C-alpha cells in the first residue's frame, strides 16, 4: 500500500475510500463520483493522492472478492449459496468472481484476499510432491 | 488385476482430502537478501515463510500492507510476483549429538561433504532465555588451558565472557585453544570412567569470516582431534547477510539442546561485530530507522537476547549449562564504540587483547587492567584459587609501576622487587597457541612462581624453565599432579609433595 507522509492527504484518501464503498464493497458508480469530485477540486499532490486511492481500492477489492476457481462446471445456485456461507464466515459482503480452470484437474480453489482454501487435485498433488 | 486396481483405489481414498487453508502473499521486490511481500495478513513476527523452490525466509517487518522478510539461501531463483506462504512455525535447526564433528551452514544443512545429518529433534533458533527460577549461580570452571586466563580471569560454566580486541591480536586463538583443551579434558575424563565427569561440548559459530580462515580452523581442530566434540556453524563473508545474522542464533539453539539434556556446552561466536554489521545491512534495506553508527535501535536487544541464552540451570532443570564466548573486533583499540560497549555491558566480563602487547611478543596479549571476570574466583578450582589469588593484583601493580619507572632511574628495593616479580609473571604467562596446560600443571607452575622458585632465573630463561618444570611435573611429579587433579585443592600434604618435586626440579635446572 502506498504510504502518504502528509496527514491531511491521508485523511482525504481515507474519506475518498469511505465514500467509494457500498455495503463495504467498492462500488463503480460511487468511485466515478469520487473521482469526478476530486477532478473538479484538484487538490495539491493530485497524482499522489490518486495513487494512494488506487492502492487502497485495489486492496479492498482483493479483500472483498470471493474468487472461486473450479475444474468442472458448477451450478450458479450452488455457487451463490457458497458465497453466502463465506460471507457469514468472513462477516462481510463479498463480490463473486467465479471461473472454470481445467488445469485444477478436479475440485476447486477459493481465494479471499491472501487466504486460500485449496481443494483441487492439482493442489493435492503439489502437496504430495512436497 | 482387479485387486491391484482396488489397492490403488484404496490408496487414493485414504489420501487426505481435507481442504487446506493457506495464507499467501506475493513478492513486491527482492534484493540483497531481503524481500518485500504483499499479503500474508496472518504472518507472525519471526515466523518462517516459504518461498518457491523450498527457500525459507523469516518475517521481520510487519507493516500495514506488506511484510519485510529476510531470505536464507540463494535468492537468484526468486522474482517479483512469486507466491509466498506462511508456515505457522518458527525457524528451526537440527539439534543433537549427531551434529558433533560436523560443519553446518546457518540453517543447519551439512556443508562438510560427510552426508546428511540424521537429526531427530529440531529447536527454534529464537527462544526465550531461561528465567531466574531455573538458573543457579556459576560455580564450575571452564578450563581454557591458558594459564593467564585460568589464574586471573577464570571462566565458569554458564558464564558469558567477551573476548575483545583489534584485528590479529589472538582472539580466535584463545577460543580455539579453549575448545581444544575441552577435547583433551573430555578424552581424559571419559577414559577415567568417572561417573561424575561432565564432558563439555563445543560449538564454534564463524560469522562473516573468510572461507580460508574457517577451513584453517577446522583443520586445526581436526589435527587436535577436537572435532568429535565440536559443531561448526559457518556463515562466511560470502554468505548473504540474512545467514550471517541468523548463524549465532542457530548455534545457540544447538547449544541449548545440550543444556536442556543436562549436559554442558560451550559456544564461541566469532564474531558478533560482523553479525551486527549484517543486521545493520538488513535493517537499512528494510528501511528501519537508523541510530548510532547507522545501527538499528534494537541492535542491543539482538545481542542481549542471544547472550542471555547462556545459563547454568539448577538440578531441578537438569543442571545443564551453556557457556558463551562472544568475540568482538574493535577498531584501533576503541572499546567505547557502540557494539563493544553494548556487548561489554551484557556479558559477565571481558578478556581485552592489546595490539601493543601482541607486538611486544606477550601472547596471549591480555591487558590485565582492562580484563575482568565478574563471576570471579567462584569459577576456579580451590587449588588454583589458592595459588593464583594475588597474581592479578601483582601484575596490575607491575603495569602501573612499569609505566612510572620509565621516568626515574632511582627505585627503592620494594619497587624493584615488584617490577622484577611482575616481569617474571609476564614471562611465565607467555604461552604459544594450541598448547593448553592442564589445571594441575597450571597449579604447579603458578605455585612455583609464588614460592620464589623462578626468582634467580634470568628473564630470558623463564619460558624454558617453565617448560622444563612442566616436563618434570608430568614425569617425576605425575603423582602430585594426579593428587591435585583428583582432590582439586592444595592440601598441606599435596603442597609438601609439590615443594619436594619442584625442589628436585630446581636442583636439576641449569641457567645455561
Q: Tell whether B504 and B372 lie within a shared domain.
A: no
A58 and chain B in contact, CB less than 8 A: no
Residue B435, domain member (yes or no) = yes
B133 and chain A in contact, CB less than 8 A: no
A114 interaction partners in chain B (CB closer than 8 Å): 23-25, 39-42
User: Rounded to two decimals, what is the model's pTM?
Assistant: 0.88
**CATH number of the domain encompassing residue B119:** 3.40.50.300
Q: Does pLDDT of A75 surpass 90?
A: no
In this structure, what C-alpha cell is assigned to residue B446? 603458578
Kindly identify which residue of chain A lies nearest to residue B63, measuring between CA atoms: A1
Q: Tell whether B67 and B33 lie within a shared domain.
A: yes
Of B89, B167, B219, B374, the active-site residue reads B374
B87 and chain A in contact, CB less than 8 A: no
**CATH number of the domain encompassing residue B68:** 2.40.30.20
Q: Tell whether B463 and B478 lie within a shared domain.
A: yes
CA B154 to chain centre: 15
* Inter-chain CB proximity B19 and A117 less than 8 Å: yes
Partner residue facing B20 (CB), from A113, A114, A127: A127
Q: Over pLDDT 90: what percentage of chain A? A: 45
Asked if this assembly's ipTM is beyond 0.90, the reply is: no
The yes-or-no answer on residue B102 being catalytic is: no
* Inter-chain CB proximity B23 and A114 less than 8 Å: yes
Residue B6, domain member (yes or no) = no
* Inter-chain CB proximity A119 and B24 less than 8 Å: no
The confidence score (pLDDT) of residue B14 equals 65
Last residue of a domain, one of B330, B364, B380: B380
Last residue of a domain, one of B380, B397, B430: B380
The confidence score (pLDDT) of residue B369 equals 86
Q: Tell whether B263 and B396 lie within a shared domain.
A: no
Q: Tell whether B307 and B178 lie within a shared domain.
A: yes
Boundaries of domain holding B142: 94-380
A119 and chain B in contact, CB less than 8 A: yes
In this structure, what C-alpha cell is assigned to residue B185? 579434558
Strands B264-270 and B200-207: parallel
The confidence score (pLDDT) of residue A24 equals 87
How far apart CA B257 and CA B119 sit, in angstroms, is 12
**Residue A94 · residue A66 · CB < 8 Å:** yes
Q: Tell whether B283 and B318 lie within a shared domain.
A: yes
Our CA-based measurement puts residue B253 at a distance from the nearest CA of chain A, in whole angstroms, of 26
Q: Tell whether B234 and B358 lie within a shared domain.
A: yes
- Average pLDDT by stretches of 10, chain B with 512 residues: 72 66 92 90 93 92 90 90 93 95 96 94 94 94 94 95 96 96 95 92 97 95 96 95 96 97 97 96 93 95 97 95 97 94 96 94 92 88 90 85 75 85 92 92 93 91 93 92 91 93 91 64
Residue B329, domain member (yes or no) = yes
The confidence score (pLDDT) of residue B5 equals 79
A125 and chain B in contact, CB less than 8 A: no
The confidence score (pLDDT) of residue B407 equals 72
Our CA-based measurement puts residue A9 at a distance from the nearest CA of chain B, in whole angstroms, of 17
The confidence score (pLDDT) of residue B222 equals 96
Q: Tell whether B193 and B298 lie within a shared domain.
A: yes
Torsion, Cα A57 A59 A62 A64, to 10 degrees, reads -70
The confidence score (pLDDT) of residue A31 equals 92
Q: Which helix (H) or strand (E) holds B372?
A: strand B372-373
The model's pLDDT over A91-108, given as tens digits with 9 standing for 90+, comes to 889 999 999 999 999 989
Q: Tell whether B101 and B77 lie within a shared domain.
A: no
The confidence score (pLDDT) of residue B16 equals 55
Amino acid at each position: 500500500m502506498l504510504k502518504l507522509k502528509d496527514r491531511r492527504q491521508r485523511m482525504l484518501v481515507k474519506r475518498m475510500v469511505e465514500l467509494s464503498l457500498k455495503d463495504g464493497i467498492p462500488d463503480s458508480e460511487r468511485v466515478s463520483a469520487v473521482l469526478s469530485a476530486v477532478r473538479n477540486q484538484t487538490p495539491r499532490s493530485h497524482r499522489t493522492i490518486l495513487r494512494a486511492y488506487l492502492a487502497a481500492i485495489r486492496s479492498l477489492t482483493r479483500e472483498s472478492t470471493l474468487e472461486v476457481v473450479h475444474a468442472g462446471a458448477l451450478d450458479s445456485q450452488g455457487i451463490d449459496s457458497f458465497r453466502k456461507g463465506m460471507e457469514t464466515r468472513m462477516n462481510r459482503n463479498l463480490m463473486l468472481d467465479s471461473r472454470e480452470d481445467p488445469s485444477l484437474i478436479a475440485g476447486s480453489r477459493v481465494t479471499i484476499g491472501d487466504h486460500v482454501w485449496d481443494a483441487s487435485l492439482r493442489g493435492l498433488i503439489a502437496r504430495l510432491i512436497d | 488385476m482387479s485387486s491391484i486396481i482396488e489397492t490403488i483405489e484404496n490408496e487414493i481414498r485414504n489420501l487426505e482430502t481435507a481442504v487446506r487453508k493457506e495464507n499467501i502473499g506475493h513478492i513486491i521486490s527482492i534484493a540483497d537478501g531481503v524481500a518485500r511481500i504483499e499479503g500474508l495478513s496472518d504472518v507472525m513476527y519471526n515466523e518462517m515463510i516459504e518461498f518457491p523452490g523450498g527457500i525459507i525466509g523469516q518475517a521481520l517487518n510487519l507493516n500495514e500492507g506488506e511484510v519485510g522478510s529476510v531470505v536464507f539461501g540463494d535468492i537468484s531463483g526468486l522474482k517479483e510476483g512469486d507466491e509466498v506462504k506462511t508456515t505457522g512455525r518458527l525457524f528451526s535447526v537440527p539439534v543433537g549429538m549427531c551434529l558433533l564433528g560436523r560443519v553446518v551452514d546457518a540453517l543447519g544443512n551439512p556443508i562438510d561433504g560427510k552426508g546428511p545429518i540424521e537429526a531427530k529433534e529440531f529447536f527454534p533458533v529464537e527462544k526465550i532465555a531461561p528465567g531466574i527460577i531455573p538458573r543457579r549461580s556459576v560455580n564450575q570452571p571452564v578450563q581454557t588451558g591458558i594459564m593467564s586466563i585460568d589464574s586471573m580471569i577464570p571462566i565458569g560454566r554458564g558464564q558469558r565472557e567477551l573476548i575483545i580486541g583489534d584485528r590479529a591480536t589472538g582472539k580466535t586463538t584463545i577460543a580455539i585453544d579453549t575448545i581444544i583443551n575441552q577435547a583433551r579434558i573430555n578424552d581424559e575424563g571419559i577414559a577415567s570412567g568417572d561417573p561424575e565427569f561432565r564432558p563439555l561440548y563445543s560449538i564454534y559459530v564463524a560469522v562473516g569470516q573468510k572461507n580460508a580462515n574457517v577451513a584453517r580452523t577446522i583443520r586445526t581442530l581436526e589435527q587436535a582431534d577436537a572435532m568429535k566434540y565440536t559443531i561448526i556453524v559457518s556463515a562466511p563473508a560470502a554468505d548473504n547477510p540474512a545467514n550471517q545474522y541468523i548463524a549465532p542464533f542457530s548455534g545457540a539453539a544447538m547449544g541449548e539442546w545440550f543444556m536442556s539434556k543436562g549436559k554442558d556446552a560451550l559456544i564461541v561466536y566469532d564474531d558478533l561485530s560482523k553479525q551486527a554489521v549484517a543486521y545493520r545491512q538488513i535493517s537499512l534495506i528494510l528501511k528501519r530507522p537508523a541510530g548510532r553508527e547507522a545501527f538499528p535501535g534494537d541492535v542491543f536487544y539482538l545481542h542481549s537476547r542471544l547472550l542471555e541464552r547462556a545459563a547454568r540451570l539448577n538440578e531441578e532443570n537438569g543442571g545443564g549449562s551453556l557457556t558463551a564466548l562472544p568475540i568482538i573486533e574493535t577498531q584501533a583499540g576503541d572499546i567505547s564504540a557502540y557494539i563493544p560497549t553494548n556487548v561489554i555491558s551484557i556479558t559477565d566480563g571481558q578478556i581485552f587483547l592489546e595490539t601493543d602487547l601482541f607486538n611486544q611478543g606477550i601472547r596471549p596479549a591480555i591487558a590485565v587492567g582492562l580484563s575482568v571476570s565478574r563471576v570471579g574466583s567462584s569459577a576456579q578450582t580451590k587449588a588454583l584459587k589458592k595459588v593464583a589469588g594475588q597474581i592479578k593484583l601483582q601484575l596490575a601493580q607491575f603495569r602501573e609501576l612499569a609505566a612510572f619507572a620509565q621516568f626515574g632511574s632511582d627505585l627503592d628495593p620494594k619497587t624493584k622487587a615488584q617490577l622484577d616479580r611482575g616481569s617474571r609473571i609476564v614471562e611465565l604467562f607467555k604461552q604459544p597457541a594450541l598448547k593448553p596446560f592442564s589445571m594441575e600443571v597450571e597449579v604447579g607452575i603458578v605455585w612455583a612462581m609464588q614460592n620464589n622458585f623462578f626468582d634467580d632465573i634470568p628473564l630470558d630463561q623463564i619460558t624454558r624453565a617453565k617448560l622444563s618444570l612442566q616436563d618434570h611435573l608430568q614425569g617425576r611429579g605425575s603423582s602430585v599432579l594426579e593428587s591435585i587433579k583428583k582432590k582439586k585443592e592444595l592440601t598441606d600434604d599435596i603442597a609438601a609433595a609439590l615443594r619436594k618435586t619442584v625442589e628436585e626440579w630446581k636442583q636439576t635446572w641449569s641457567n645455561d
